[in-house]
Structure 1
């Protein structure tokens, strides 16, 4: 931690849980830990999550980017789904180096059930084995497939939101930029949950959280180095890999951006919302006081987590007209 910065406090309820969480994952990820964390950070079986709920799940193999392998997507739909409804294209988190399409699926299934949305969650290739641009191009290919097959999926192609948390939020922002610049699918919104946006890692908040919390400064270095290699921090990094580098955020779909006050991504996410407004765009920004990175995933029953999840669902309902 830099001696020049004090650290804002954790929420009392959430802070009390950090010790137990540290025993599970710790604040810091180094390159030698990636393999072990991939084995640790595994979502519960999807069958357990769906048990007793009126939501179906099936998989499809779809074309990947040109010259790349096919992709697997998971599709979630209510059993009584009314065709022509909203769609949510989901990109999972995991620091660009871990996780799978079921990470964070509890929120996704909640949205499917409450909004009668069809959700598609993509299994993209991970760094460092597959560095940039593989992850964002995989995610964009999945969005193109969803839009092209909207009728078959029971989705209105004009009512698709791209969503993601952490690295998935960064990739969702990159996909929105790619879709704008390539004339791709029209998006009704972008839901960016504490997104990972800036490879430079030089904000105040990126210095404040070093060795504390969840996903600290060193972890951020690990993820970005895996994704970008020697290009990191240079002018060879594209805005699609690190959306915080984009100076022009005009002509993008409305954004929901949230972040916690006690995490590395706080300042870059606030800056991203400010750049959207500066570019004449629409963004709703929430900074959850005392939250740490991923607080709502690790402790969904905490009061702050409930508030954060409710805010996202309210925004989705408005953005999708659900």
Structure 2
């Protein structure tokens, strides 16, 4: 799907042009270089509490997690596991600071963001294992975190959205922890790249070549194989039953458009409640790159309102069921 500049929403078009000039495609070499540049919160934050902690993995190594808490935290509030994007190859939890602040402002909640292993360090399934370990840790430490273990939510953007979708499938199948709500924003789901939007896509920020290189790193020896598990590429799943209520959105110009649409349809067919929007003239991560654009404000509002609805509706429903 070839993307011309005139197809891009006017308010984000200039940013798109600049990004195309600065960085047209992520190569494996570029992924490995950028993976070393991790953003960290160094100054004291005044709008929320920020705590770094190291938790154990099964192999006895330790993983860094970032804990974000409201300044005035209520009791027994939802806990959110937020997974950062970056094509599975780059990024750090702190990159999600803005969206995490919005979640806490919208509804008093505690957000945990793991510094999961990147594909340049270790291929699948290490990132998923780290995310699941963090989810279990949240459940086991719910009381000290001040969250309810039956109100655990999971979300992420891009590759973090893909990990969100994979994690809900994995948690469903394992049966050790229940996820109440999921938020896989413009998720990276399908390694096969056989949809119209994922083929020959030259959109700003994330194009088909970047997508190909990222999947190659993430899957390792599984790349281009027929036996890729759906925990690695959730679009390969056949059974979407008993997954949590979902909110997601995607731009209509980006490679992940069609796989997101198909994922939503699969969820709906399985009886899973879904809130979904497609935003015209938008490339990957448009709402983060151009947050002041009207289309970005609409996307952010849609996402946050859906999150707030989930907290007020689904969790209230759980409380009522517990009283009966």
Given the two structures, how large is their TM-score scaled by the length of structure 1? 0.92
Aligned partner of residue 104 in structure 1, secondary structure:
helix
In the alignment, the residues of structure 1 paired with residue 223 and residue 60 of structure 2 have an alpha-carbon distance, to the nearest angstrom, of 23
Deviates more, 1:229-238 or 1:111-120: 229-238
CA-CA distance at 1:286 after TM superposition: 1.0
In structure 1, stretches of 5+ residues that fail to align are none
Query: Which residue of 25, 46, 53 maps to 1:52?
Result: 46
* 1:12 aligned residue: 10
Aligned partner of residue 157 in structure 1, secondary structure:
strand
Whether 1:35 aligns to 2:28 is: no
Show CA shifts across 1:77-120 (max 9, x none).
11210110111101110001000111121110121133111000
Aligned partner of residue 127 in structure 1, secondary structure:
coil
Query: Which residue of 190, 203, 226 maps to 1:198?
Result: 190
Query: Which residue of 231, 235, 240 maps to 1:240?
Result: 231
CA-CA distance at 1:129 after TM superposition: 2.5
Show CA shifts across 1:140-189 (max 9, x none).
11111011111110001111210000000000111111110000211111
In the alignment, the residues of structure 1 paired with residue 143 and residue 21 of structure 2 have an alpha-carbon distance, to the nearest angstrom, of 46
CA-CA distance at 1:8 after TM superposition: 8.5
8 Å contact kept, 1:8–1:261? no
In the alignment, the residues of structure 1 paired with residue 278 and residue 171 of structure 2 have an alpha-carbon distance, to the nearest angstrom, of 27
In the alignment, the residues of structure 2 paired with residue 195 and residue 115 of structure 1 have an alpha-carbon distance, to the nearest angstrom, of 23
8 Å contact kept, 1:7–1:262? no
* 1:113 aligned residue: 105
8 Å contact kept, 1:6–1:208? no
* 1:63 aligned residue: 56
In the alignment, the residues of structure 1 paired with residue 138 and residue 102 of structure 2 have an alpha-carbon distance, to the nearest angstrom, of 20
In the alignment, the residues of structure 1 paired with residue 176 and residue 13 of structure 2 have an alpha-carbon distance, to the nearest angstrom, of 43
CA-CA distance at 1:284 after TM superposition: 1.3
8 Å contact kept, 1:7–1:209? no
Show CA shifts across 1:207-232 (max 9, x none).
2513x322100000111000112322
Given the two structures, how large is their TM-score scaled by the length of structure 2? 0.91
In the alignment, the residues of structure 2 paired with residue 243 and residue 162 of structure 1 have an alpha-carbon distance, to the nearest angstrom, of 15
In the alignment, the residues of structure 2 paired with residue 7 and residue 233 of structure 1 have an alpha-carbon distance, to the nearest angstrom, of 32
Query: Which residue of 167, 175, 182 maps to 1:175?
Result: 167
In structure 2, stretches of 5+ residues that fail to align are 316-324
* 1:141 aligned residue: 133
Show CA shifts across 1:17-51 (max 9, x none).
21222344x231111211333356x54x5255x64
In the alignment, the residues of structure 2 paired with residue 113 and residue 278 of structure 1 have an alpha-carbon distance, to the nearest angstrom, of 33
8 Å contact kept, 2:17–2:204? no
In the alignment, the residues of structure 2 paired with residue 37 and residue 70 of structure 1 have an alpha-carbon distance, to the nearest angstrom, of 23
Cα distance 1:9–1:158, how it changes in 2: closer, same or farther (>3 A)?
same
8 Å contact kept, 2:54–2:64? yes
8 Å contact kept, 2:31–2:120? no
* Correspondence list, 1:217-236, <5 A: 217-236=208-227
Aligned partner of residue 17 in structure 1, secondary structure:
helix
In the alignment, the residues of structure 2 paired with residue 314 and residue 57 of structure 1 have an alpha-carbon distance, to the nearest angstrom, of 24
Cα distance 1:68–1:278, how it changes in 2: closer, same or farther (>3 A)?
farther
In the alignment, the residues of structure 2 paired with residue 124 and residue 8 of structure 1 have an alpha-carbon distance, to the nearest angstrom, of 38
Aligned partner of residue 170 in structure 1, secondary structure:
helix
How many pairs align? 313
